[in-house]
Every structure is written in C-alpha cells, then in structure tokens.
Chains A and B, each alone.
Chain A
Amino acid sequence: MTKDLTPYITAFDLMEQNMNGLKNSSIYPLRLKAMAEFEKLGIPSNRHEEWKYIKVSRFFKELPAIANPTIEPSIDLPEFLPSLKANRIVCIDGVYSEKNSSFIDEGFNSYFRSLQHAYNANDPIVFNYLNKLLKIEEQHFAALNMAFAQDGVFIHLPDNFSPDFPIIIVNVVTGKHLVNSRNLVVIGESSSAQIIEKVISMEDSAYHNAATEIYLQENAKLHHTVIQDERKDLCLINNTEVLQKRDSQYNAVTVSLNGSLIRNNLHVRYDGENCDCHLNGLYFGRSSDLIDNHILVDHRKPNCTSNQLYKGLLDDKSEGVFNGKIFVREDAQKTNAFQSNQNILLSDNAGINTKPQLEIFADDVKCSHGATSGQLNDEALFYLQTRGISKERAKALVSYAFANEIVEKIENESVQNYVREILLDLFELTL
C-alpha cells in the first residue's frame, strides 16, 4: 500500500449509506467487492510492470475528489458534431442525462437504457454481462470504477438489427473531480453499429476513468471511435474490454490529440473462429503530455485475424508509450496477427517507449510486428522547401499526412473531417 486511500474509503461509505434502495440489487455486492479489491490494489505506482513508463502517481499525489452527482447540474453543453445525424447519449458526471440526450432512430429507447435503470430493476440481463470482462482483481482503475460508477450506458442491440444512424456517447465532466463512467455494449447476432465516444470537460482540469465492456455476438460488427481532443489538463483513463464471438468484427480508432495524461487499455479476446479486429490509434503529444496505449489481442480460437496500427507524433517534452500484446493460444491455429507502431519525434526532448509482446503457443501462425521511431525525413523536408514551403510548414504537412492515415480508418466521414479540422488547427495548416 503506497498511498493513503482514506478519502475514497470515506466517500464509498457515504455512498453506501445512500444506496439503501439498491441493497437488494445485484449491483450492491459487486460494488462492495470492487471497493475491497481497490483497497488492495490502490493507485498503481510505476514499479508496477504495466505502469512502468507512465507516472500516473504524479496525477494522484492528492486523490481527486470523486464526483458525487446528486442532482443534475444545468450546463451549457458544448456542441459536438452538431451536423451529424446520430443517436446522442449524454452522461453528466457519469450519470445519464435524459434531458441532453436525443435519439433519431425510432425505437432506440428499447435498445438503450441507463445502467442505473437496469440496476434499480435488478434486471438479470445486465448482470449476465456486467463486470464479466474487466478484472477488478488486477485492474486498479477497473476496480475503482466498479466501486464508484453509479450509472452509465447500456446498449443491447437485438439480433439482426442495425441502427440506421451512429451512436454518440458524450461524457461530460463538470468539475475538477474524478468521474467514473461506464459503458456496457452488447451487439446481437448479425447486427452492426457505430459508436463514437468523447469526453467533454467543463473545467480546465478533470479526471475521467471509463470502463467499457463490449460483447460482439456471432457475425456482429462494431465501429468504435474514441476521440480525446480537449486541450485541457485532463487525466483520461480508459479500460475497454471486448469479447468477440465467431465471425464478428471489431474496428476501433482511438484518437488522442490532447490531454495531459492518457492511458488507454484496449483488450480484445476471441471466443469463436473467424473473428477479425482492426485496432488503430493516433496520438499527438505536446508539452509534457503522457500518452500510453496498452493493447492486447488474445487469439484463443483458430482462423482469426487481428491488425494493430498505432501512429504517434511526439513534440516538446511529451512521452508516448505503446505496449502491444498478442497472445496466440495453443488452439489458435491459422492465426494472422499484425502489429505496427510508428512514431515521429518532433523534438529532441520527446520520447517513446514501444514494446511489442508476442506470446505464441500455436505453430501454424502468421505474426508480424514492427516499431519505428525517428525524426521527419530530411530529404522530404528539403524537397518541399525547394518548392517554396518553409521548413515549419513542410514539417506540418508531412506530420499531417502521417496522421491522416489513421484518420482515414475512421468509419464516419463527418468524424474524419472533425479530426482533420483539429489536426489542421494544431499544425496551423490550411489545405
């Protein structure tokens, strides 16, 4: 135990006292267990192997207060992709806000509920899935989340059903506190969906700890885009777990353009043959940003493929971490698994720690990984300069092009353009 967790223990006790109505719900023992696990785990120090290169403790020197949303605050919600027709789910400080949400697909209400609603009803369906993928015994922030998250998003698409419009989940953090938000997503057999996630902070600093569990049933498909772009002093932690049944496909793009500390854990497990996933990431660190992507693809079944492509631009004193694990279990013959991590260091003081981890126990497997890091190509910069483009702008053009490869992987064109606008702005470019 390295850190005094008393403030959180007190906060939990207080919350528990107010949970009277939920004492009969299955959520109650789960929360107690999660808190007990969190008390054992605490905040990870960088002596912990999985947290070696990212000094998360720096951001938890003093424990941020846990958001305690009792009544919904009235806020002026900033616009996000206003012109995109979508089903919009808004949570404020981790609690579903009906007032700010709006659905365009008819009947979307029957596929979406707030988790709190499900807990109150002690709905057995939710407990078939909740906390089954995250490991609160090992994952510090998953335990913290399970203990404190009061509400969240529960999307359960039936079989053979695909909403016409994308689903946007916006999590608003209203104060300089820690919000624990939660998503539970089940995509039914042969159904498909598009989810776009974003955190909005109303203050100039905030903490957001998200836990997301995604189940893809047979032949289901999900496009999942996570946008982390608020230029604020934010600490964003994402714990995302995906379980795929046979013939399913998961496509993720995680775009981390701003944020002082970002840690994305993205774990995908195959529980059936012929699964496929594409995990793409773009990160751009500046000042003293820390951006850490921890990826795991667990090939447990034969005939599956996986692709990881993460690209990073690191400027100033920023640091990036890429940790990409590929497990290929004994049964997982005919696996095709690829991983690539490419980095451009825009400053001498920026750094990247990249670590591929391949553990292969099957013999008929195609696996490849590669990592590069370096400066921008001098030849290319000189070529552009001789065409009248200043060195600064040449750097911006080449960096933008480097980043754009990931932007193009985003399923939705409006979202692509949204990200491009931010990049152009960051690089002070007009095209």
Chain B
Amino acid sequence: MLEIKNLSVSIDGHSILDNLNLSVKPGEVHAIMGPNGSGKSTLASVIAGRDEYDVNGGKIEYQGEDLLDLDPHERAHKGVFLAFQYPVEIPGVSMTNFMKAAINEKRKALGQDPVVAKDFLKMIKEKMALVKMDPKLMSRSLNEGFSGGEKKRNEILQMAMLEPKLAIMDETDSGLDIDALRIVANGVNSLRTSENAFVVITHYQRLLDYIVPDYVHILYNGQIVKSGDKSLALELDDKGYEWVKEEVNA
C-alpha cells in the first residue's frame, strides 16, 4: 500500500530524512518511535504533502501511484489521512461547515453527490459517540480554544468521518488522560479492517498496549535504524534510546 524508498528530505538546506525506507501493507499497524527531533513529524508531513519540505531523493508510492505528484487534497481523496501532532486552530471556520466541506470534497472527487444533511448529522452523531466528544464542540470554530485532549479527539473524529485507507497518527496519545487514551485507541481499533493501514507515531509503549502494532520502527538521524515487533517497544520503554544510538554510531 505504501512504499517509501530511499527518501531524503531537507528544509532550507538542512537535511532531516536521509535515505529512509518503509513498507506498509493493507491491514497492518506500524508504530514509529524515536527521539525528539529525529524526523517523525517530518516524515508524516511529507507523506501528507506539505510543500515546505524539499524532497531531494527517493520516492513514495501509494497504491502503486507516485504520491509526491499529488496535491495534499488529492492524497486525502485517495485515502491518506494525517492526525496532526499539533492540530491547527482555525478561527471562524465552524466545525460543522468544515466537516461538511471535507466530506463533500471527497465525494465530489469520487463522483458522488453532496451528502444529504440528515445523513451527515446522523453520521457525525455516531462518530462523536465513538470518540466520546462533546456535541457542543460542533458549533464552535475548528479547534479554536479546544483543550489539548479535545483537539486530539477531534483528529480521531475527522479520521472516523473520512474513513481513510492509510492513517498516520502523529503523537495522538500525547496529552491524553488514561480514559481518553482508551477512547482514542478504541476508536482506532473499531476502524481497523484488512483493507486499511495505520502508522502510529508515539513516544509511549503504553499506547501500544491498546493499539497493538505489527511492526515497531525506530527513527533516528533521519533513518529507520531498527525494526522489530511489539517487543521492541517494550525494550525501548525499559532501556531508553542510548543503546540504539550506540549501535548506530558504532
């Protein structure tokens, strides 16, 4: 589904990703861990299509198509979703109008008619219940003044509404209390099918108790330096990153 080959990315001449490789198949859950500043969010942004970054080499194939050729909204239409580490506050754009626009743009791209108001309301009610989000938030501006946890739940709500094939979740667990963490994990697990895949970026093994990954990767110095199964996350939790760094630098 997603094939990243020798991807090198820089910003303002400063190299961030360096010959990175990653392969994700439908139905899989991949966890990416790594020290602060190692390039995890950069990788997520480049997959979603942020154009501030310069791709200096390599390629990203998604469902057999060159992803780098597509605009961010086209990637979204084809099922790519990024849950932001820091969701953006957009004053004045109401949650409802935003969500409707997002749904309808995708439907338009797929040659479908705009969603019927009644169906939309039903769907959003359902999904809000799934992530236990306060319905009052729907009448507010997008993320404006939302608490940290509300913002993260909102990301999962959007994911549930848009039903992506490839969801990248950038530290969705950071800033969540234990209950919220369970709710978010629950949301993800209920969206899991054999057709879609998740790339979960996290610092905490705790999340992986709830969302059990098939693979765990360690991103360091712009490369995936180590991959393993979920036991790798437990090892990291136990020993930290020092041993990985030593291995790499040796």
Contact = CB atoms under 8 A, between A and B. Distances in A.
| A, B assembled together | yes
B88 A380 contact: yes
Given A390-B73, A397-B98, A383 B49 contact: no
Given A388-B102, A388-B162, A431-B100, A383 B91 contact: no
B92 A385 contact: no
A393 B88 contact: no
Contacts of B102: 384, 387-389
B193 interface: no
A386 B72 CA distance: 5
A80 interface: no
A401 B81 contact: no
B52 A378 contact: yes
A375 to B, nearest CB: 14
Interface in B93-142: 93, 97-98, 100-102, 105-106, 109, 141
A405 interface: yes
Contacts of A383: 84, 87-88, 90
Most chain-A Cβ atoms within 10 A of its Cβ — which of B73, B81, B141?
Answer: B73
B90 A385 contact: no
A404 interface: yes
Contacts of A402: 91-92
B143 to A, nearest CB: 9
Contacts of B105: 387-390, 393
Interface string B50-83: 1010000000000000000001110111001110
A49 interface: no
A403 to B, nearest CB: 8
Interface residues of B, number: 31
Chain A facing B: main interface SS: helix
A342 to B, nearest CB: 11
Interface string A355-391: 0000000000000000000000111101111111111
A381 B73 CA distance: 11
B48 interface: yes
Nearest to A394: B73
Contacts of B101: 389, 393, 397, 431
B137 to A, nearest CB: 16
B158 interface: yes
A104 interface: no
A36 interface: no
Most chain-A Cβ atoms within 10 A of its Cβ — which of B76, B80, B101, B162?
Answer: B101
A371 to B, nearest CB: 18
A398 interface: yes
Given A383-B84, A387-B76, A390-B73, A431 B90 contact: no
Contacts of B48: 382, 386
Contacts, number: 80
A121 B49 CA distance: 73
Contacts of B158: 387
Contact of B49 (A385, A389, A393, A405): A385
Contacts of A388: 73, 76-77, 102, 105-106, 109, 162
A287 to B, nearest CB: 25
A346 to B, nearest CB: 16
A377 B144 CA distance: 14
A255 to B, nearest CB: 16
A404 B71 contact: no
Nearest to A382: B50
Interface in A384-431: 384-391, 393, 397-398, 400-402, 404-405, 431
A171 to B, nearest CB: 32
B162 A401 contact: no
B52 A391 contact: no
A405 B141 CA distance: 12
A391 B88 contact: no
A401 B82 contact: no
A386 B76 contact: yes
Interface in B199-229: none
A12 B50 CA distance: 64
A377 B173 CA distance: 26
Given A380-B88, A385-B76, A390-B73, A401 B52 contact: no
A378 B88 CA distance: 10
A374 to B, nearest CB: 14
A377 B50 CA distance: 13
Contacts of A386: 48-49, 72-73, 75-76, 80-82, 84
Interface string A231-252: 0000000000000000000000
A397 B92 CA distance: 9
Interface of B: 48-50, 52, 71-73, 75-77, 80-82, 84, 87-88, 90-93, 97-98, 100-102, 105-106, 109, 141, 158, 162
The 4 A-B pairs at the shortest CB distance, nearest first, are namely A401-B92, A388-B76, A385-B72, A387-B102
27 contacts: A378-B52, A380-B88, A380-B90, A382-B48, A383-B87, A383-B88, A384-B98, A384-B102, A385-B49, A385-B71, A385-B72, A385-B73, A386-B48, A386-B75, A386-B84, A387-B105, A387-B162, A388-B102, A389-B101, A390-B71, A391-B71, A393-B105, A398-B90, A398-B92, A400-B92, A401-B93, A401-B141
Given A386-B72, A386-B80, A387-B102, 12 more contacts: A385-B49, A385-B76, A386-B73, A387-B105, A387-B158, A388-B102, A388-B162, A389-B101, A389-B102, A390-B73, A401-B92, A401-B141
